[in-house]
Amino acid sequence: MLNQENELTKIITKFAESGWDVIDTPSKIWLNVNMNGEIPEAITAELVAAVKKADNECGNCGCEFDPLYKRALVLLCAK
C-alpha cells in the first residue's frame, strides 16, 4: 500500500510540475493537503475530475502523461 501511495505522489507531483492548468493547480492543492495528513474527499474528487478531463483532452496524444492519467485514476479511486 505504501508503494502505491508513493507511486501516486510521484505521478501527482509530475502533474503539478506540468504547467498545464487543467491538472497543475488541482495537483498542487492535493499535494499541499497531503503533506498535512488526511485528504478531504472533496480535494480528491476535484483532482479525479481534473485528471479525467486531462485524459479526455490529451490522453491519447502520445506524450509521457498519457499512461499516467490512467494510472493516477486507478490509484486515486482505490483510496
Q: Give this prediction's pTM.
A: 0.90
pLDDT for 78 beyond 90: no
- Identify the pLDDT of residue 37: 73
pLDDT for 79 beyond 70: no
Greater confidence (36 vs 43) lies with: 43
- Identify the pLDDT of residue 31: 94
Query: 41, 19 in Cβ contact below 8 A?
Result: no
